[in-house]
Amino acid sequence: MSVEVGERLANEGSQLAIIFQREWSRKAEDWFATLIPGDTFTSEDMITAIGFPDQRTPNSNNAIGSKIRTWSHAGLVTKRGYAKTTRSQSHSRIIVLWEKK
């Protein structure tokens, strides 16, 4: 598979994940609006603030990364580094630290 095809499929999948999680997506947008330029955050910060997407939908947690991907493609956030997770369920894995522009 070419990079272009992979990117197109990722973009389509991101949009579908957000469509299936409309209510959660609105919560994410409301939360994002509370951040000021220069604020940094992780996906875990967003989960702590608004919770997980509705688990009744298959692959529902894809909406988390999809939302951040959408903001990144729109130029609203930029990658600033990495951080360890703090939720015990995440076992201290490394995740991206984002900065709101």
Which tens digits make up the pLDDT trace of 23-39? 999 999 999 999 999 99
pLDDT at 61: 85
- Calculate mean pLDDT across residues 34-61: 92
Query: CATH classification of 3-100 is 1.10.10, yes or no?
Result: yes
Over 80: is that where the pLDDT of 48 sits?
yes
> What three-state secondary structure class fits 79?
strand
CB atoms within 10 A of CB 1: 6
The ranges assigned to domains in the chain are 3-100
pLDDT at 39: 98
Mention every residue, 6+ apart, whose C-beta is less than 8 A from residue 67. 18, 25, 28, 46
Mention every residue, 6+ apart, whose C-beta is less than 8 A from residue 35. 41, 100
The order of strands in the sheet holding 40-41 is 40-41, 94-100, 77-84
Supply the pTM of this predicted model: 0.86
- Calculate mean pLDDT across residues 79-95: 93
Q: Residue 89: which pLDDT band, with cuts at 50, 70 and 90?
A: confident
